[in-house]
Structure 1
Amino acid sequence: MFTNNKLSKAVRLAVAFGAASTAVFTGAVVAQEAEEAKEVERIEVTGSRIKRTDIETASPIQITSAEEIKAAGYTRIEDMLNSLPQIEASSTAFTANGTSGTATLDLRGIGANRTLVLVNGRRLQPGGLYSSSADVNQIPAALVERVEILTGGGSATYGADAVAGVVNFVMKDDFEGVELNAGYSGYQHKNDNSFIQSKMDAAGYDYETGNSGLDGKSKSLDLTVGGAFDGGKGHATAYASWRQVDEMLQKERDYASCALAAGTGNCGGSFTNAIPNFDIYPIFNGETDFNQNAFWTIEDNGGTTQFSEDVGVYNFAPVNHFMRPDDRFTLGSFVRYELNEHANVYTEVSYMNNRTIGQIAESGLFFEPFVFDADAAVFSDAQRDQLAAAFPGADQYSISIAKRNVEGGGRTANLEHNSFRIVTGMDGMINDTWSYDVSYQYGSASSSDAYKNDFYINYAGTRVGAAGEEECVGDCIPYKVFEFGGVTPEAAAQMAGAAIATGFTTQKVFNAFVTGETGWTVPGHSLPVAAVIGVEKRDVFFDRTVDTIYAEGALSGQGGPTLDLQGGYKVEEVFGELSVPLVEDVAVAENITLELGGRYSDYSTSGGENAFKTAIDWSVNSEWKLRASYNKAVRAPNVAELFASQGLGLWSGSDPCAGDDPSLSQAECANTGVTAAQYGNITPSAASQYNQIAGGNPELTPEVGKTLTVGIVGNPFENFNFSIDYWNIELSDVISALDPEETITQCGKTGIAAYCSLVNRAPSGSLWLSDDGFVTATNQNLGNEHYRGIDLSMNYSMDVGPGTLSTSLLGSYNMKKFFDPLPGVDGTSYDCSGLISTKCFPQPEWRHTMSFNYTTGGDWTAGAKWRYFGAVEFDGTSRNVLIGDEIEGVSFFDVVGSYALTENVSVQLGVNNVFDREPPLVGSTLANTNTIAGYWDLLGRYVHMNVTARF
């Protein structure tokens, strides 16, 4: 092993700005890391298994320190990371409808399943029942030393899934002493949005006003203990953490208290109303006449119930969770012991229990169709007369009932996850220049979902009095939908159904590699070629078991069956890397190093695949550095994509042939199965949800991603440094399902059978009023995607008064976010850069985080942060009066301060979103909560406090 002056310069340069902080809330973080780096001769950095003398690689790496995580005040690690410009919000605590209960990370918006999550350089297992991505709930924030984000392909080093990049959580496995952290936080907001309050006044809805007080409160407690043993041969770190988060409902914020209709800006709702609505068709001699129709509700007329055309909608928003309640407990340990000078054994053990509940609006009869005799006793005399007048001669009626079960309360998904992970291995020096590492890891996640208080549809026919059903007598309580106020809480309770699903996933990984210096040198360079060669074997298995109620789709609020899922795959791999020093001490290069890497993977499901990387690391001098890399990455289809049973579910969007003014012409809609009589008369879904048949495909092949990065790192003058990196990611053979709305549109415009065969309209023409209408959208290797942009990082510090003021800027300029789901088909591709739409998560062209920190090196520090989300234009086929042409840029400002009460005790106070900036409103078509969950600050001002005692 060696050091020399040139490499020491590289260390200073790399530490100073290649791994610049995203928010410099702690004084002298860069200087401290620089000093620590000088003391370490060889370290392993995310993106390579070759141990280096600096922490900068040819691929850009962004580092977030433990101090920054703590200063942000979040109890959930994903909330902190989602504030970085390179990460797009994925599954978060602000998701209730259809939540998996997990927390995932999504680099560049390319997909959480294309972002590889590591802990100490090793894979984190898939998260649970409904997600194949890693659940970062397993990560105890208080024990994170730093987070290293490699924003580029990493498959050559780590295997599949690192298409968008790698997020590596480096843990404090060498902790000394005892540390106890106690945290308390909550949200505060002034409900004074006059726009939406006027809309709710017009609709007659209730809402909160004035100061909310502190709500959505969170409490946390973290204990870390560590130290050496056996004369310093061994070291152990152990931790335990607890977190509790209170629920928040949408009704607690005025701007989310009703579902805003994008086209009008008014409060909308669901036709499945507390006072039932009915879609009625006559039946003559057993044949339903779909050309005759009445859409009615009921009203009370002097004690007698009659039908009415004054159809109402239900405001479902207030009941939904805005933020899910959460209880989490984690514990674990890191132990390392030196057997001799050539062998060290180590173990990592972690366990997590997480319980959360996702509540959404009440269930009910969602236009469930039943047949009623014309003289049925459930009708009042007035109703029979109205039906007879509207449909003369009909002997029966097909009536789709839309009744919100408000008497029974909201639906809740009660989710629990138990994750366990153990890593054991041995590493050490073979000789002075070569080392080895052999490890085996086992990770599992067991999870359960008890879905409660939904509407058990199998009882409905009897209780509503449909023709051919058993009579509701004895303990059976009729569900009197045709009687005004006829449904009682007791009747609702008998309709309450529950379904249970359990899941278990395992990931087993054997990894072994050797790394060191070969002794070969390129003529003219003093440093030898370094290499890695290794093997890896992974075994992934997933099993989801559901009860009969889930499997039959017997709960009306589920949108279709949830089916068993079982499957897995194995992969055997060989990988290698080379670091080849090429040039040193010439006019324009202090050092140039070529980095090469490759991996061959043999999948049990799809056969052989290869990945590779090529990179150049060019140190012009101690102040300037150039870098470039090219990667080929792969992502193998996960278990759900391969083996999920095909079944009925929901998709969000719009039917271009529904409504009184369809966006497609009559001839185009005819291609999708709409008759001339139905055109302009198909009722659109008020909830913007339609039926689809979705599921897996065992014939899928891996996706392929190719990533190019080119960057410059500079230190043009003292105390200032920057890095600029251009990145370009192209994906092919993308695994996805064809967007149902796009399928309908292409069928209408082209008439091509490949599209039209996927559109199956019910006899009424609807794609949502009954299970007979749906769009088929199963998984396929379909299209291409292309992402391109520039990342910028800058840091500057200067002396101000008795202390130092440090500033940093981390920004990302998005140039392209292009989707081509059907290559070669005109009009199907689109670019989401700078846009928001039903297809596009809001992707500003520019987004940044700018931080300021002041420290005296004494008892206190103070900091501020500016988080900016650039403007996005609206790109949609329908009008959105809430957005207009664009959403203007949004800024949020945070402040934080810390003070050392004693030598061992410190306190931190902070406020995020100081000015209580509300998120932009986009309406219910684009978001369930009227705004984008997990992206902009959702709940108002966030106040946090943390007390740390260390001994």
Structure 2
Amino acid sequence: MNHKNILARAVSLALAGGTLAVSFTGSVAVAAEEQNAQKVERIEVTGSRIKRTDVETSSPVMVMDATEIKQSGYDRVEDILNQLPQIEAAETSFLANGATGTATLDLRGLGSNRTLVLINGRRMQAGSIYSQSADVNQIPASLVKRVEVLTGGAAAVYGADAVAGVVNFVMDDDFEGFQFNAGASGYQHKNDNSYIQGLMDERGYDYPDGYNGIDGKAYSMDMTMGGNFDNGKGHATVYAVWRRNDELRQGSRDYSSCALNNAGTVCGGSATAPNPYFDVFPVVDGEMGKDEFFGFLNPNGAGFIEDPDGVMNLYNYAPVNHFMRPNERFSTGAFVNYEINEHFRPYLEVSFMHNRTAGQIAESGTFFNNELLMDYNNPLMTDAQKAQLQEYFGQTPDDQFIMYIGKRNVEGGPRSDNMEHTSYRILTGMEGDINGTWSYDISYSYSATSSSSIYKNDLLATQIPQRVGAVGTECLEADGCLYYNVFELGGVTAEQAAQLAGVGTLNGIVKQTIYNGYISGDLGWSLPTTENTIGVVIGAERRELDYERTADTIYAEGLLLGQGGPTEDIIGDINVNEVFAELAIPVLDNLNVNLAGRLSDYDTTGTDSTYSIGADYTLADAYKFRASYARAVRAPNVSELFSSTGIGLWSGADPCAGSAEAIENRGLDAEMCARTGVTSDLYGNISSSPANQYNEVSGGNTELKPETADTYTVGVVGSPFEGFNFSIDYFKIKMEKVIDSIGAETILENCALTGDATFCDNIHRSVSGSLWLGQTGYVENALANIGSRTWEGVDLTSGYQMELGSGTLAFSLNGSYSIKKEIEPVAGASNLAYDCSGVISSRCGVASPKWRHTIRTEYLADDYSIALKWRFYGKVDYNDSTDVLVGDGISSYSFFDLSGNYAVNDYITITAGVNNILDKEPPMVGGTLATNANTMSGFYDSLGRFLFTSVGVKF
């Protein structure tokens, strides 16, 4: 048995096996071509720089190829990748309030900052002034040859951020010819949700009914050209992509046309309503008294109507909010390779992207933010209003009171965060053969993203006191000042509101410079047990990351009332020098061991090492068993280190707010709530935030240490009979010293349950006990190395193809089963740990089904193909003490997609399809569980049926 035959058999097994099982149609054809090839060529596989003949490594790699990408109908990369069961939704176009304007990927649900994104094996830069994660908007979907997803840790090979794994976009840089594609898509839905329509009928809200036609339309065009030059010594590929999609507001769907309360049982809303709300406390001996009047203007008179629970006049802020943001994007770039000789092959990659989007949310308001000292000489209040408050508090006309005002700025229109991103990336280098067994690769890359956020139509806190007649202020008409007449129904005019409006501006740039060089080759000797020689890679890398975000005065001083607090500058840089090495050691003809190590020296956190070991064993040319262990270290990023500490908002619930009955229904009592700062007088008398938003103090921490992770995988790849292949892999990821905040709601709950000072010392209630009225009540929730996370699960892929008639019938499966997603919020406190697998709660974030899969069936003929896809999400149980779902949990969900393409002739191809054929709505959840629009937007199909078509011309 000679060396070449062993390699050929290895390639055959690998390509028939599980790595390419997910890539369905295209990879089946590739596998067939390569199995029939006479030459065994060494290739580089994601997860290693060692070129090998076997695409199956000791760590599992899944592949999605260009055919599936095209037939998915999506041209946003995040929408394409979020179909994989191993990826959870992160930043998508279906977020509005607090959106970064970027698109990010979250492998395993460990966070997008722990998913390393590569282009042709080289890392991308951070995405924007809000995000330290790579923005996949920069990647042209039409030029992606395949996406390789490595689901084991890969920090030893690629450096930090690869805790959960790697997503590598392999681009079609050897394209030949000319290609032009034009496409259009849109959503269609029948609004017939009787449950939420009934809730809106009770409130008298408007909502759409019946079919909406086609909305949320998107249009795209892309062009690619490529070919050889200089007698075949060089090759160049250039591309240009344009894409635009319309906005969709939450009022376009019945199930998102009102904001559900926490329990999902009524249409909630905000106490900051068009009809002003007033929270009033008497001043007693120079301090705020404990008595409280909470109410709004009486529409039938000049006085107030008391509303202690804040539910009589809620504002439905949902309809004007974006469900899907509008977006326009242009990108262009080129790939150039040139061979001067076999020892010197220079290459160049350049790309440019400009992206514009806007996140629209409901009108701004005063949001009970200003603590206003008032007296009974106020020029705006009526005599009846003054008399009513004096009687309520037992005051005289000479006394004073403190007032918080909640008034929605409907006269001024919605708020809008207009975001722009401009990114470019230049990579140049050279590679070549040193001799017959050794080669080198030296590269330099520079990438930068400049971005801006212009926040319009928010209200300025500083402009309110004088315009409502607060003590010690003046509003002089001669100076053009207009009173903000909140004490009269309809008293506020557009002109008055305009004087309160402000614009905040953020600008920033993130720059990344990478110097990389390595040599790879064959040591030329082997162990006595085999003829296969040992492969090696040795290299060094330097990365320089500079991050700068500049806020104008309005942002920096927190003057915009809708922001929840200041947004300050962030300026910082991180430099790291690294050396790395890999070894591929054949132990037997059918047993290989792979070693990798990296030593990293950060100028912020010092020196750390990462390493991995893996092994694979081939049995009878039909099965490959594999196992790996990897140690990953992720150093804190610029934002985590250098963000300033300030007050902001968190979404959730205060478990000790509301009536005594409501608190006891959550499993708490007066003694437990006392631990969180609720006195006996306040127990059962603290109002909940109608918008489910509370104050927290958060920010970066320069004392952060790197987090560590140990990743284990064990699996088998097999091809037991012709046409069928499968892979099954168990994984476990154990993270320690996790860089995160404990979570304000977790702090409140654990304080109430345990009384532990670790939690209770971080809770600061206002005099009224509130954590949302004004800014004197808040929870401290800064970043720290807090505890651990343990993820366990199993991935399964399989594929089968057979000849049928004049074509080929192919089946494929990609599934993932979650065994455990355990979070320990404080190191060593195992009694506080909770499992997020198979449940949904505000502590865990997005729903986490135990089982997800995608099954695809496709028939391929000479000039057409048709594919049916089944995307399945397992049921999710409810598990939280403060929130309730719409129902007892989320039942299992199935979405069915149908697509096909037809080759009109040798040059023209038409593709069309329908995703979510049955127009299934996403599951509705209560206010504290929704990411947007009463659901987990971007995780489940959010807008109903999706129709798409495109025409491609190639010659």
Shift of 1:593: 0.7
Shift of 1:285: 4.9
Task: Give the secondary structure class of the aligned counterpart of 2:407.
Answer: strand
Contact map agreement 1:11 1:38 (CA 8 A) in 2: no
Shift of 1:27: 8.7
Alignment of 1:400-799 (within 5 A): 400-474=404-478, 475-584=480-589, 591-661=590-660, 662=663, 663=666, 664-799=668-803
Task: Write out per-residue CA displacement over residues 130-163 of structure 1, whole angstroms, 9 at most, x where no aligned residue.
Answer: 0000000000000101000000100110011100
Contact map agreement 1:307 1:383 (CA 8 A) in 2: no
**Aligned equivalents of 1:269, 1:925: Cα separation in 2:** 12
**Aligned equivalents of 2:49, 2:58: Cα separation in 1:** 13
**Aligned equivalents of 2:118, 2:239: Cα separation in 1:** 19
Shift of 1:555: 0.5
Indicate the residue corresponding to 1:164 in structure 2.
164
Indicate the residue corresponding to 1:270 in structure 2.
270
Residue 382 of structure 2: which of 368, 380, 383 is its match? Answer: 380
**Aligned equivalents of 2:785, 2:285: Cα separation in 1:** 48
**Aligned equivalents of 2:287, 2:634: Cα separation in 1:** 52
* Structure 1 unaligned blocks of 5 or more: 585-590
Indicate the residue corresponding to 1:134 in structure 2.
134
Matched, 1:946 2:955: no
Shift of 1:825: 2.7
Task: Give the secondary structure class of the aligned counterpart of 2:842.
Answer: coil
Task: Write out per-residue CA displacement over residues 30-49 of structure 1, whole angstroms, 9 at most, x where no aligned residue.
Answer: 54563587656111110000
Indicate the residue corresponding to 2:367 in structure 1.
366
Contact map agreement 2:273 2:406 (CA 8 A) in 1: yes
Task: Write out per-residue CA displacement over residues 24-70 of structure 1, whole angstroms, 9 at most, x where no aligned residue.
Answer: 35594354563587656111110000001121111110000011101
Matched, 1:64 2:67: no
Residue 909 of structure 1: which of 884, 908, 912 is its match? Answer: 912
Task: Give the secondary structure class of the aligned counterpart of 1:340.
Answer: coil
Task: Give the secondary structure class of the aligned counterpart of 1:892.
Answer: strand
Shift of 1:612: 0.6
Q: Which stretch shifts more, 749-758 or 635-644? A: 749-758
**Aligned equivalents of 1:676, 1:542: Cα separation in 2:** 48
Letter of the structure 2 residue corresponding to residue 211 of structure 1: Y
**Aligned equivalents of 1:73, 1:267: Cα separation in 2:** 35
Residue 807 of structure 2: which of 791, 803, 806 is its match? Answer: 803
**Aligned equivalents of 1:205, 1:619: Cα separation in 2:** 65
Indicate the residue corresponding to 2:329 in structure 1.
328
Indicate the residue corresponding to 2:391 in structure 1.
389
**Aligned equivalents of 2:410, 2:504: Cα separation in 1:** 20
Task: Give the secondary structure class of the aligned counterpart of 1:605.
Answer: coil
Contact map agreement 1:462 1:472 (CA 8 A) in 2: no
**Aligned equivalents of 1:312, 1:265: Cα separation in 2:** 17
Task: Give the secondary structure class of the aligned counterpart of 2:14.
Answer: helix
Shift of 1:471: 2.1
Contact map agreement 1:305 1:482 (CA 8 A) in 2: no
Q: Which stretch shifts more, 731-740 or 656-665? A: 656-665
Letter of the structure 1 residue corresponding to residue 270 of structure 2: S
Indicate the residue corresponding to 1:251 in structure 2.
251
Letter of the structure 2 residue corresponding to residue 785 of structure 1: R
Q: Which stretch shifts more, 647-656 or 127-136? A: 647-656
Indicate the residue corresponding to 1:76 in structure 2.
76
Percent identical among aligned pairs is 52
Task: Give the secondary structure class of the aligned counterpart of 2:620.
Answer: coil
**Aligned equivalents of 1:96, 1:402: Cα separation in 2:** 22
Task: Give the secondary structure class of the aligned counterpart of 1:92.
Answer: coil
Letter of the structure 2 residue corresponding to residue 372 of structure 1: M
**Aligned equivalents of 1:30, 1:791: Cα separation in 2:** 23
Contact map agreement 1:27 1:861 (CA 8 A) in 2: no
Residue 923 of structure 2: which of 920, 923, 943 is its match? Answer: 920
Alignment of 1:199-214 (within 5 A): 199-214=199-214
Task: Write out per-residue CA displacement over residues 395-437 of structure 1, whole angstroms, 9 at most, x where no aligned residue.
Answer: 1121111111111111111000011111110000000010000
Letter of the structure 1 residue corresponding to residue 926 of structure 2: G
Shift of 1:878: 3.3
> May I ask how many residue pairs the two structures share in their alignment?
940
Shift of 1:881: 5.1
Residue 895 of structure 2: which of 892, 895, 902 is its match? Answer: 892
Shift of 1:459: 0.5
Contact map agreement 2:653 2:882 (CA 8 A) in 1: no
Alignment of 1:107-126 (within 5 A): 107-126=107-126
**Aligned equivalents of 2:494, 2:303: Cα separation in 1:** 20
Letter of the structure 2 residue corresponding to residue 522 of structure 1: L
Indicate the residue corresponding to 2:197 in structure 1.
197
Q: CA RMSD in A?
A: 1.5
Indicate the residue corresponding to 1:173 in structure 2.
173
Indicate the residue corresponding to 1:222 in structure 2.
222
Shift of 1:494: 1.7
Contact map agreement 2:295 2:304 (CA 8 A) in 1: no
Letter of the structure 2 residue corresponding to residue 47 of structure 1: G
Query: TM-score, normalized by length of structure 1?
Result: 0.97
**Aligned equivalents of 2:40, 2:914: Cα separation in 1:** 37
Letter of the structure 2 residue corresponding to residue 534 of structure 1: G
Query: TM-score, normalized by length of structure 2?
Result: 0.97
Seen in structure 2, the aligned counterparts of structure 1 residues 19 and 565 have a Cα distance that, compared at 3 Å, is same
Shift of 1:14: 1.1
Shift of 1:671: 2.4
**Aligned equivalents of 2:885, 2:445: Cα separation in 1:** 53
**Aligned equivalents of 1:784, 1:388: Cα separation in 2:** 55
Task: Write out per-residue CA displacement over residues 793-812 of structure 1, whole angstroms, 9 at most, x where no aligned residue.
Answer: 01111222222110000000
Task: Give the secondary structure class of the aligned counterpart of 2:432.
Answer: strand
Letter of the structure 1 residue corresponding to residue 265 of structure 2: G
Indicate the residue corresponding to 1:588 in structure 2.
none
Indicate the residue corresponding to 2:315 in structure 1.
314
Task: Write out per-residue CA displacement over residues 155-176 of structure 1, whole angstroms, 9 at most, x where no aligned residue.
Answer: 1100111000000000011111
**Aligned equivalents of 1:373, 1:92: Cα separation in 2:** 48
Contact map agreement 2:787 2:828 (CA 8 A) in 1: no
Residue 844 of structure 1: which of 842, 849, 862 is its match? Answer: 849
**Aligned equivalents of 1:391, 1:408: Cα separation in 2:** 34
Contact map agreement 1:740 1:777 (CA 8 A) in 2: yes
Contact map agreement 1:27 1:804 (CA 8 A) in 2: no
Shift of 1:264: 5.5
**Aligned equivalents of 1:164, 1:753: Cα separation in 2:** 33
Indicate the residue corresponding to 1:587 in structure 2.
none
Task: Give the secondary structure class of the aligned counterpart of 1:126.
Answer: coil
Indicate the residue corresponding to 1:148 in structure 2.
148
Letter of the structure 2 residue corresponding to residue 53 of structure 1: T
Seen in structure 2, the aligned counterparts of structure 1 residues 32 and 799 have a Cα distance that, compared at 3 Å, is closer
Matched, 1:875 2:876: no
Contact map agreement 1:16 1:34 (CA 8 A) in 2: no
**Aligned equivalents of 2:392, 2:43: Cα separation in 1:** 81
**Aligned equivalents of 1:255, 1:143: Cα separation in 2:** 37
Alignment of 1:797-836 (within 5 A): 797-825=801-829, 827-836=831-840
Contact map agreement 2:878 2:885 (CA 8 A) in 1: no
Indicate the residue corresponding to 2:351 in structure 1.
350
Task: Give the secondary structure class of the aligned counterpart of 1:366.
Answer: coil
**Aligned equivalents of 1:26, 1:708: Cα separation in 2:** 30
Letter of the structure 1 residue corresponding to residue 129 of structure 2: L
Shift of 1:450: 0.2
* Structure 2 unaligned blocks of 5 or more: none
Indicate the residue corresponding to 1:935 in structure 2.
939
